[in-house]
């Protein structure tokens, strides 16, 4: 994929009914490091555990993706409380299998529908604002909760992929699938 594949830029902040999406800040390192240190949060993530020191690098990577692509993963907060929930958005580094719709929500907030609500907004931006032909979500086969989110969004299991020696599933959705919703 060339850097110009999606020439449009997405806003650095926006809101849904219950969520606030915003740009990353330095003060996000401790709450993200807390999530990265939780084995329940990291058990299905590509690459596995991330140290507290590496959390700063992860944020720098996400900010760099925004500068190179014009879109990326947002820091997400609960509007009502301001609580840091995690990250959610669109991810497409060079060599990635497709424009990924990705979510990573604090387990203290699982079961509240935040991943579905936020991913739905990002899915719509990918097709409406970026003009994407397809999106995908890369999900560990045992992560049934994320598989359900993908299916609620209209994605379907498309194929398996090996990432670093671990098999993941690609859930995908085409522009035509999205338009048919």
Confidence label for 2 from pLDDT (cuts 50, 70 and 90): very low
According to DSSP H, which parts of the chain are helical?
29-36, 39-42, 52-69, 114-128, 144-153, 175-180
Q: Are 154 and 178 in contact (CB under 8 A)?
A: yes
Distances (CA, A) of 86 to 19, 83, 106, 165: 11, 9, 6, 26
131 in Cβ contact with 8 (< 8 Å): yes
Confidence tier at 8 by pLDDT (50, 70, 90) = low
**CB neighbour class for 107 (10 Å; exposed up to 12, middle 13-18, buried from 19):** exposed
Going 51 to 56 to 60 to 63, the CA torsion angle's sign is positive
CATH assignment of the domain containing 158: 3.40.630.30
Within-domain flag for 81 = yes
Domain assignment of residue 5, yes or no: no
Q: Is residue 153 part of a domain?
A: yes
List the domain range (segments joined by +) for residue 108. Answer: 14-180
Mean pLDDT of 126-138: 96
Give the span between the Cα atoms of 124 and 116, in whole angstroms. 12
Global confidence as pTM? 0.93
* Residue 1 domain flag: no
Q: What is the pLDDT of residues 40-67, one digit of tens each?
A: 899 998 777 788 889 999 999 999 999 9
- pLDDT tens track for 68-117: 999 999 999 999 999 999 999 999 999 999 999 999 999 999 999 999 99
Tell me what pLDDT residue 51 has.
85
Closest alpha carbon to 163 in 107, 71, 91, 70:
91
Q: Is residue 144 part of a domain?
A: yes
**Is residue 6 in a domain?**
no
Q: In the predicted model, what is the mean pLDDT of residues 29-48?
A: 90
What is the predicted pLDDT for the residue at 50? 82
Q: What is the mean pLDDT of residues 33-44?
A: 92
- 31 CB-contact burial (10 Å; exposed 0-12 / middle 13-18 / buried 19+): middle
pLDDT of 52 reads: 84
Counting the structural domains of the chain, the total is 1
- For residue 143, is it within any domain? yes
- Nearest CA to 103 among 94, 141, 113? 113
> Which pLDDT score is estimated for 5?
57
Tell me whether residue 53 is in a domain.
yes
Only one residue has tokens 């830029």, namely 9
């Amino acid at each position: 994929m060339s850097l110009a594949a999606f020439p449009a830029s997405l806003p650095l902040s926006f809101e849904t009914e219950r969520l606030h999406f915003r740009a990353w800040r330095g003060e996000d390192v401790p709450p993200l490091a807390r999530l990265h240190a939780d084995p329940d949060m990291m058990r299905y993530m590509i690459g596995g555990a991330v140290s507290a020191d590496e959390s700063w690098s992860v944020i720098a990577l996400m900010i760099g993706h925004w500068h190179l692509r014009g879109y990326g993963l947002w820091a997400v907060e609960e509007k009502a409380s301001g609580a840091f929930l995690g990250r959610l958005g669109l991810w497409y580094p060079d060599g990635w299998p497709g424009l990924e719709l990705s979510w990573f929500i604090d387990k203290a907030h699982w079961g509240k529908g935040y991943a579905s609500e936020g991913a739905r907004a990002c899915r719509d931006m990918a097709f409406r604002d970026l003009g994407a032909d397809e999106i995908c979500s890369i999900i560990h086969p045992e992560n049934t909760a994320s598989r359900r989110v993908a299916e609620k969004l209209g994605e379907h299991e498309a194929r398996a992929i090996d990432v670093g020696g671990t098999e993941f599933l690609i859930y995908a959705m085409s522009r035509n699938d999205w338009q048919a919703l």
